[in-house]
Chains A and B, each alone.
Chain A
Amino acid sequence: MAALAGLRAPVVWILLAIAFFTSISGKPVDGVLMLIVAAGLAWDAGRRALRHPGPEGAPARTGPLPARRRRFVVIALVAAGVAYAGVVGSFSRYSWPATAGIIGLSTVVVLIGWHGPVRARPDGERPPVAGTLAWLVVLVAGCLWELSSLLQQPSLTTDSYAHPTISTLTDPLMATSPGRMLVLFAWVAFGWYLAER
């Protein structure tokens, strides 16, 4: 019952779509993980909607850090990010050690996010509708362009030179250890940025 009520959240449907397309693209592990999160989120959102109808949300765990402490936290996180990228980037792509490293960090970050924002942030005003629509048009166009390239490949698991996906275009960078480390560091930094939102 709670999971059914949670299906009203659009994010759940987006995750289910990602799970479906990922699975048929030859990555069943990713698909199953997305499915688990979608089901968990639907159940959680439904449970909350049944208990407390109204806008959902969770209080922030801490307020803004003092400048000196924040500098120390930033340095520690950058060092940890460099170490993580160095270790996981040294493994081959699609190997079990790399998979374990990615799943481990992802699980930690998603669980942190599940319990609420890390820091308090002002709620801010509602963004202008026209400007928000402009962003949506550009981001959806990017996703559709990628999907169009994917569907024009000989098969979903075979790359195409004529219609390269972003994955295909980044293959040369990912083929080298320094390239993987660079991309992993950027990925970790973006995750940290999101976790702080």
Chain B
Amino acid sequence: MADTNQYKRVVGGSVPRFAPHARFRFDDIRQAWVVLAPERLLLPDEQAVEILRLIDGERTVDAVIDELARRYEAPREVIAADVIAMLQDLVGKKVLRQ
């Protein structure tokens, strides 16, 4: 679908960061992490929160995947598919940049 926008494709070497007006924060009232963006509100599940907490504008996608594979002792390719799909979705929503 987005073939004309190859430069936006998330790859292992990408360094994702939150867009300037996206806020990833813990909500005390719900006791849950939330992502706030222009007229958009995401309530990430536990797995997504784990990924997003590793997004710091310095780690590459490969480093994020390595860290999660280590933590969960899970096969790297399984983790990689999940991580890249989620990050690609959030880049498309302009919550993340790379």
* A, B assembled together: no
Residues of chain A having any CB pair with chain B under 8 Å: none
Residues of chain B having any CB pair with chain A under 8 Å: none
